[in-house]
Chains A and B, each alone.
Chain A
Amino acid sequence: MNEPDATSTDAESAEALLERIAAGSEAALEAFYRLTHQRVYAFTLKRVGDPAMAADILNDVMLQVWHHAGRFEGRSRAMTWVLGIAHHKVMDALRRRGREDRHEELDESIPDEDSAGGIDAVAGVEDASAVRRCLEKLSDAHRTVVHLAFFEDLSYAEIADIAGCPLGTVKTRMMHAKNALKRCLQTLGAAG
């Protein structure tokens, strides 16, 4: 549809843009892309670890926004909605690629007691490179929760909405992820 578009402004919310996209506004889609694409790309890249694949998924996500913006019902924030689309695209891509978990994963079977302790973990978190390496070793499910909680600053309810899992599962995944990160940072600290 090529109907004339009202000029979009930086202040226009993602929710308002979705409404105009649903009415066929290409200008609104461009504004929505500019507003959200970096966060969608960061989320997908953290999941798939491949810039080209992340760019393809970002493109697919935005095409889906173009086709289905009318399905956004406003029950969540627009960013949560679009990250939910990205989550499903990532899951599909990982399944196609045949490796939902792309790295050697941290051993999450180790009991979690005394999870708050560990001087090496305290020091390790100051090492950006060590943090990055340990995050990459998390399982996809755990990395997703950590990214959405600490990069996106989303509530556990919003994360559950995106990942399509119960609230308790989000909390549990975060606990396991945190403990796995601590163990990893301790190990790297000991090795270094």
Chain B
Amino acid sequence: MTMHDDSTHPDELLSWYVNGTLEGPERARVEKHLESCRRCRDEAAWLARLREQIKAEGGADAPGELGLRRLMRQVRGSEAKPRARRLQWWQPALAAAVVVIVIQSVLLVKPWQEAETGIVPLGMQVSGAVVQVEFAPTATEAQIREVLQAVDGIIVDGPGALGVYRIRLQGVSPADDARVAAAVAALRARKGVVVHAAAE
């Protein structure tokens, strides 16, 4: 039997040799050492028995389906929560910027179009059909702008606590159900950008 100096015993690696995760040169080193070291073979055998005992002990009684029901109840009960949390910093900023642009446009256009009175402050009633839209947290400003342009809509309010924006469809009467429904369908079709869209 080859004698080994204590410092050469690969004690710090034996546990991972025993659990089968040691690879490459480290594994080769341990295997080579074990061929000639009774002490380390005994140590590895002891660790292997310890591992068996720990596995035999098992994972106790996990909550199983009861725990799953609890989890899914919470997930469904707070469905809007993750999206509300994940609002991007630019989404409120975008809403504010759009409103400023809209108001500026009105102020500039107003002298020539005295009859056009469609712009109102946030949170108030607006003329024209309004739809509620929730954008995906991953939607970019460019994607949102493109969607708004596609339905000729402008943000007039939001986001609310649940991340919902109010979009006014320009030139569409609230009574024009067909055009409102078409706009909602067009918004819903933009999966990946629009999470939710509905007529108000």
Do A and B make up one complex?
A: yes
| Residues of chain A lying within 8 A (CB to CB) of residue B146 | none
Q: Contact flags (1/0) for A52-74 with B, using CB distance below 8 Å? A: 00010011001100110000000
CA distance A146 to B176 in the complex (A): 69
Contact B53 A125 (CB under 8 A): yes
CB distance from A109 to the nearest CB of B (A): 19
Nearest CB on A from B81, distance (A) = 8
How many A residues have CB within 8 A of the partner chain? 48
Q: Is the CB of B51 within 8 A of A58?
A: no
A62–B71 touching, CB < 8 Å: yes
* Residue from B43, B55, B68 within 8 A of A151 (CB atoms): B55
Q: How far is the CA of A116 from the CA of B42 in the complex (A)?
A: 8
- Which single residue of chain B is at the shortest CB-CB distance from A112? B11
Residue of B at shortest CB range from A43? B59
Q: Does B75 contact A (CB under 8 A)?
A: yes
Per-residue contact bits, chain B 44-77, to A (CB 8 Å; 1 contact, 0 not): 0011011101111111111110011011101110
Asked if A125 contacts B60 (CB within 8 A), the reply is: no
How distant is the Cα of A130 from the Cα of B70 in the complex, in angstroms? Answer: 36
Tell me how many residue pairs across A and B have CB atoms closer than 8 Å: 120
Q: A122–B54 Cα gap in the complex (Å)?
A: 15
Task: List, in ascending order, chain B residues with CB within 8 A of A41's CB.
Answer: 59-60, 62-63, 67
Of the candidates A37, A41, A146, A150, the one having the most CB atoms from chain B within 10 angstroms of its own CB is A150
Give min CB distance, A107 to chain B, whole Å: 19
Closest 6 CB pairs of A and B: A42-B59, A155-B21, A41-B62, A150-B51, A171-B12, A116-B43
Stretch at the interface among A5-13, A27-35, A89-97: A27-35
Complex CA–CA separation, A26 to B72 (angstroms): 8
Contact B11 A29 (CB under 8 A): no
Chain A: CB-nearest residue to B195: A1
- Would you call A128 and B57 a contact (CB within 8 A)? yes
Complex Cα–Cα for A40 and B81 (A): 24
Given contacts A45-B60, A116-B43, A155-B16, contact A125 B50 (CB under 8 A): yes
CB of B19 closer than 8 Å to a CB of A: yes
How many residues of chain B get a CB closer than 8 Å to chain A's CBs?
Answer: 45
The answer to whether A135 touches B59 (Cβ under 8 A) is no
Shortest CB distance A98–B (Å): 24
Q: Which residues of chain A in 135-171 are interfacial with respect to chain B, using CB atoms and an 8 Å cutoff?
A: 135, 146-147, 149-151, 153-156, 158, 171
List 13 A–B pairs whose Cβ atoms lie within 8 Å, in order of A's numbering: A41-B60, A59-B67, A63-B75, A66-B82, A116-B9, A116-B42, A116-B43, A126-B49, A149-B16, A154-B19, A158-B21, A171-B12, A175-B11
Kindly state whether residue B15 has any CB partner on chain A within 8 Å.
yes
A154 contact set on B, CB distance < 8 A: 19, 21
Q: Is B39 an interface residue (CB 8 A)?
A: yes
Q: Judge whether B87 is part of the interface by a CB distance below 8 angstroms.
A: no
Contact B19 A149 (CB under 8 A): yes
6 additional contacts (CB under 8 A) given A34-B68, A63-B75: A2-B79, A51-B60, A67-B85, A128-B56, A128-B57, A174-B15
B residues in contact with A34, CB < 8 Å: 68
The residue from B16, B58, B75 contacting A66, defined by CB atoms under 8 A apart: B75
Chain A contacts for B81, CB-based, 8 A? 67
The reply on B123 being an interface residue by CB < 8 A is no
Q: In the bound complex, do residue A135 and residue B54 qualify as a contact, i.e. CB atoms below 8 Å apart? A: yes
Question: Within the complex, which residue of B16, B20, B64, B79 is in contact with A156, where a contact is CB–CB below 8 Å?
Answer: B16
Complex CA gap A153/B107 in Å reads 69
Residue of A nearest to B65 (CB): A34
